[in-house]
Structure 1
Amino acid sequence: MTLRHIAVIDVGKTNAKLALVNAGTLNEIAVVTRPNTVRPGPPYPHFDLEGHWAFFRDGLAAFHRDHGIDAISVTTHGAAAVLLDAGRNLAAPMLDYEHELPDSGYDALRPPFAETGSPRLPCGLNLGAQLHWLLRDPEVAARTAHVLTYPQYWAWRLTGVMATDVTSLGCHTDLWNPWEGRFSSLVDRLGLTGKLAPARRSSDTLGLVRDGLGLPCVPVACGIHDSNASLLPHVLGRTGAFSVVSTGTWVVAMAVDGAKVDLDPTQDVLVNVNALGRPVPSARFMGGREYEVVRNGGDPATTSADSATVLRDGTVMLSPQEWTRQPATQGQRMVALGHYLALMTKTCLDRIGARGPAIVEGPFARNRDYLSMLAAVHGEVEIATSATGTSIGAALLFADRTTPPATRPVAVDNAPALRDHAARWHRRKDTACA
C-alpha cells in the first residue's frame, strides 16, 4: 500500500498540534492546534488529556473527510508518562514535569549517570523522579497496573496496544540504559517490572486504529520523542559527523559521530537515544521559554542598524535577568537576545563534542541574529530549505525516505565583529562564575 497522507499527533510543551503530512513531498498540508494548558489541580498541576483526545479525534476525522488518512504517527515532549489502572483508566492525572517535587529520597534510589546517561534534573524532568513521587501514595501505587510513555499513550488510545519507545525512555528518564539498550535497574527498584510497557522501536507499527472511534482503520506507529523526531530525517539520510539543534520551548543540541568528550551531567548534558536505538550525546537549555520572557510580547523584528548598535555598544545579555547594559530599543533587545541564545547553543554543542555542520530546526531557524552569531562562532550552520521539524520527522516513521532534507548554509557578513562580541560574552560569563 502506498502511503500518501500521514496524520501526526504532535504534543509540545506549549501547544498540541495535529498535522497532515504529504508522504511524498514531506509538506504539511493541514495543521490545527490547541494550547497545552496545564491545569493547576487538585491534586497537582496536570494536563488535559481528555480535552486533547477530543481535539485529536475531531481533527483526524476532519482530515480523513477532506484529504484521506493512510497512517497515523505520534510525537510528544519528553519527561512524561501516563499511569493506568487494571481497567485501563487513569490511575492518576498526568503530572506536569515543571511541578516542583518535594524531597522524596529519590536521589538515593536513582542509578548513576554511567548507567543511564541521565543527569539529575530539577522538578520532574527525570521521569523516574515523577514516578517515585507519585507511587509514594499507596492508593496510586495500588491502582497502577500499566505505565506508558507519552507518545505511546496516544498510540494506545488509537490501537489498544501498550508500549513504550526507546527515544522516550532514553530522554533523561533514569529508566533506560542507552549503551545496553534495556531498562535500567531503577525500573525494578520502583516496583514497575511488568508494569512499564515493553520497549519498542519508534517505527514499529503497533496496530490498526481500533473500531468504535469513528476513524479510518489505518496503521499507527509506536511514536517518538519530539527532539528525536527532528533528528530522524538527518540520521536516515546523512553520513559523517553532524549535529541537529532542535529549537522550541527547549533548545536541544544532539551530536552524531561527534568527538569523544567527557560528558558532564552537572551541565544539563545527557545521552538521548535515537529512533534506531543508538546513544546520542545531547545538551540543552530552555531557550524558547527564555526568548518569550525577554521578548515580553514585544515586536521581534530587528534591523541591520539594531545589530550594528548592539555590536558597537557592547550590549551583552548574560541571562534573562542580567545585562551589561540595558538596550535602548526593542530591536536592540531582540538582537542581543538572539546573540545570547546562539552562544548558549554553541556552549551546548561544545559540551557534547559536536563536529561538522549544525543543522538548526524549528523557530530559531528563522531568527537572523541567532543564526549569524551561531555561524560566526561554530563555523558550519545550515537550515532546511523546506518544511522540517517534529511533525515531519514523526511522519518519516512511515515514509521510508533515505535522502536528507535539503539545507542551505547560513552566510554571515560580519563574523569578526560577532566573534569579538562572543569573546566579550565569555569574559563576562567567566567572571560571573569565578
Structure 2
Amino acid sequence: MSEKVTAVFDIGKTNKKFFLFDDDFQEIYRDYTKIPEIRDEDGYPTEDLEALKSWLKDVFNNILKSEKYNVKAINFSTYGASLVHLDENGNPLTYLYNYTKEIDESVIEDFYKKYGPQEDFSKKTGSPRAGMLNSGMQLYWIKMTKPEVFKKIRYSLHLPQYLSYIFTGVPVTEFTSIGCHTSLWDYEKRDYHDWVYHEKIHLILPPIVSTETSFNMNYNGYRIKIGVGIHDSSSALLPYVRSVKKSFILVSTGTWSISFNPFSDSKLTPEEVEKGCINYMRINGKAVKASRIFLGNEYRKQVEFLADYYKAPKDFHKKIDFNYDVYYELIKDFEPQFKWFNFQTENMPAKTSLNFDKIEHAYHQLMVELVLIQIDSIKTVAGDNKVYKLFVDGGFTDNNVYIQLLSHYLRNMTLRTTKSSLGSALGAAIAISDKKLNSKFLKKNYSLKKHVPFIIK
C-alpha cells in the first residue's frame, strides 16, 4: 500500500529542491537540481522561469505516477522580493527580475518625494529603502519606465504564489509574501499602504488569503490539497512558532544573519529603522521584527584575509575551538582591530591592524568583534521585552567560538542550537497541515542542543 505524503517544492536562488514528508514530518524523499540563469532584456542574470516550470511539473508528475507514494498535499516555499507579472491569459509578461538588479535612482527619488519622507515610510511599512528588494518598488518602476507593459498586467504574483498558480490556475496574494520588506504593506493600519491604492497597484494584486489556505483539486486525476505558498524566511520560522509557547528570538545564520522576534508588539522606531530593522510577517498577518547583518559574508572575507596574512591553510578556522585563556588575555585591554568589508561600526578602525603572533589569537579577536555586532542585532529586536529563549540555526551553529561567546555575553538567555537542512521546506509542509506540534518537535526534528555559558575564572 502506498504511503501518504506531503510534497514541498523549496526554491532557492541556487538550489531547487523537492521533498516528501510523512505524517510525522520526517523526510522520506528528496530531489534537487540547479537551473542555469538566463539574462533579462538588460543583460542582467535572472531566473529561467520556463525551465523552472518544466522541472516542477516533471518532478511532480513522476512522483504522482509512483506506486510507492500517495501525495495528499503539496506546498511551495521560495525566496522573496520576486514578482511574476501575468497577462490576461495567465502567461508571464516579463522576466522574473532579479532582486539585486539596480533601479534608476531617479525613479526611487520620485517615489519617496511623493510618498515619503523615507524614514516615516520605512517605519510604517517595515521596509528600508532597498530598490528592487522592495517588490512594491519594482511595480512602481515598471509603471514609470515600462507603461505599455504595466497596462497589460492582469495579476502580479509573488514567486511562491506563482508556483501555486502553475498547479491551480488560481491567482492569490498571501500574508508572508506581501509583508516581507515589500513597501506594500502598512503595518499600522494592517492594509496596503495608501500609495498602493493611489497608483492603482491594488487592482493587479489578487485577493489576500491566509497562508494556511489550500485548494482541494483534481490534478491530473488525483485528488490533492494544493497550498498557496509561503515566503522562505517566514516558513523557516513557523516550526518554532508552532512548537514553542514562550517568547523567543531565532537567529538564522548564514550569508546573512537574521534575528527574528515574532513576539514584539511594538512598531519599528526611527532608531531601529536606522539600524536596518525590517518586518517580516507571520502566517496570521502579525509582524515579525527582524534585524539583518551581513555576518556570514563578512566572516568569510575576514577569514580569507587572516589565512593570507598568517600564511595559513584556508580552512584553518575549522580547527580552532574556544580557548578561555586566549579570550581572557584579549579582553584585558580590548580594542577593535578589524576594519569591516561590508558595514560600518562606531569604533571601527580606519584599517585592520593586528598585533598578534598567533593566528589563533587573531581569530578569537575577530570572533569577539563579530559576536558583539551579533549581540547588538539581537538586543535591537528584543527591545524592552524579556526574552529568555534564544535559538540559533544555520552555518554558525558549528562554530564553537561563536556559540561559546554568544552564550557568555547573553547569560540571561537560554541558548539552544538547532540543525535542520529542511527549515523552510518543513515550514511549508506544516503550514498546510492540520497537525498540532508539541514542545518535543524541535528536539525530535532539529537536533536541539542546549549550551551553558563558560565559568568566569
TM-score, normalisation: structure 1: 0.83
In the alignment, structure 2 segments of 5+ residues that lack a partner are 305-312, 343-350
d(CA) in 2 for partners of 1:206 and 1:109?
39
Which residue in 2 is equivalent to 1:149? 158
String of CA shifts for 1:369-415, please: whole Å, max 9, x gaps: 3222222222322123666621111111123223142233223436x
String of CA shifts for 1:126-181, please: whole Å, max 9, x gaps: 11112111222122212211111121010111111111111111111111123443
Per the alignment, in what secondary structure is the counterpart of residue 119 of structure 1?
coil
**Alpha carbons of 1:244 and 1:102: their partners in 2 closer, same or farther (altered >3 Å)?**
same
d(CA) in 2 for partners of 1:179 and 1:172?
14
Q: Are positions 1:357 and 2:378 aligned together? A: no
d(CA) in 1 for partners of 2:99 and 2:361?
34
Q: Which among 210, 221, 232 is matched to residue 226 of structure 1?
A: 232
How many angstroms does 1:242 deviate by? 0.9
Which residue in 1 is equivalent to 2:40? 41
Q: Are positions 1:57 and 2:57 aligned together? A: yes
Q: Give the structure with higher Rg (CA).
A: 2
Q: Are positions 1:402 and 2:437 aligned together? A: yes
Q: Which among 96, 99, 102 is matched to residue 104 of structure 2?
A: 102
How many angstroms does 1:298 deviate by? 3.8
Q: Which among 65, 72, 75 is matched to residue 74 of structure 2?
A: 72
d(CA) in 2 for partners of 1:340 and 1:14?
30
How many angstroms does 1:316 deviate by? 5.3
Q: Which moved more, 1:346-355 or 1:312-321?
A: 312-321
Q: Are positions 1:193 and 2:214 aligned together? A: no
Does the 8 Å CA contact 2:181/2:278 hold for their aligned counterparts? yes
How many angstroms does 1:235 deviate by? 1.6
Does the 8 Å CA contact 1:38/1:48 hold for their aligned counterparts? yes
Per the alignment, in what secondary structure is the counterpart of residue 79 of structure 1?
coil
d(CA) in 2 for partners of 1:345 and 1:391?
26
* Letter paired with 1:350: K
**Alpha carbons of 1:23 and 1:134: their partners in 2 closer, same or farther (altered >3 Å)?**
farther
Q: Are positions 1:382 and 2:416 aligned together? A: yes
**Alpha carbons of 1:188 and 1:307: their partners in 2 closer, same or farther (altered >3 Å)?**
farther
Listed as ranges, the matches of 1:75-86 within 5 Å are 75-86=77-88
d(CA) in 2 for partners of 1:338 and 1:19?
36
d(CA) in 2 for partners of 1:233 and 1:122?
29
String of CA shifts for 1:298-354, please: whole Å, max 9, x gaps: 426132378865775678545246644298888777766655554333222111225
d(CA) in 2 for partners of 1:328 and 1:61?
60
Does the 8 Å CA contact 1:209/1:220 hold for their aligned counterparts? no
Which residue in 2 is equivalent to 1:431? none
d(CA) in 2 for partners of 1:27 and 1:132?
42
d(CA) in 2 for partners of 1:397 and 1:3?
20
Report the RMSD for the aligned CA atoms in angstroms.
3.3
**Alpha carbons of 1:277 and 1:292: their partners in 2 closer, same or farther (altered >3 Å)?**
same
Per the alignment, in what secondary structure is the counterpart of residue 166 of structure 2?
helix
Q: Which among 173, 191, 198 is matched to residue 182 of structure 1?
A: 191
Does the 8 Å CA contact 1:75/1:394 hold for their aligned counterparts? yes
String of CA shifts for 1:6-50, please: whole Å, max 9, x gaps: 2211123343222222331x2323333334655343234421222
String of CA shifts for 1:245-299, please: whole Å, max 9, x gaps: 2234432211133485863212211222201221221111233444454556942
Does the 8 Å CA contact 2:40/2:97 hold for their aligned counterparts? no
Per the alignment, in what secondary structure is the counterpart of residue 237 of structure 2?
helix
d(CA) in 1 for partners of 2:52 and 2:326?
45
Does the 8 Å CA contact 1:375/1:412 hold for their aligned counterparts? yes
Q: Are positions 1:169 and 2:175 aligned together? A: no
Does the 8 Å CA contact 2:19/2:31 hold for their aligned counterparts? yes
Q: Are positions 1:116 and 2:124 aligned together? A: yes
Q: Which among 262, 274, 288 is matched to residue 280 of structure 1?
A: 288
Listed as ranges, the matches of 1:268-417 within 5 Å are 268-294=276-302, 298-299=314-315, 301-304=318-321, 312=329, 317-320=338-341, 323-325=352-354, 339=368, 341-353=370-382, 355-379=387-411, 380-384=414-418, 389-399=423-433, 400-404=435-439, 405-406=442-443, 407-413=448-454
* Letter paired with 1:52: L
Per the alignment, in what secondary structure is the counterpart of residue 206 of structure 2?
coil
d(CA) in 2 for partners of 1:118 and 1:369?
33
d(CA) in 1 for partners of 2:170 and 2:450?
43
Per the alignment, in what secondary structure is the counterpart of residue 70 of structure 1?
strand
How many angstroms does 1:190 deviate by? 3.1
Between the aligned residues of both structures, percent identity stands at 23
Q: Which moved more, 1:358-367 or 1:138-147?
A: 358-367
d(CA) in 2 for partners of 1:101 and 1:363?
32
**Alpha carbons of 1:353 and 1:125: their partners in 2 closer, same or farther (altered >3 Å)?**
same
Per the alignment, in what secondary structure is the counterpart of residue 7 of structure 2?
strand
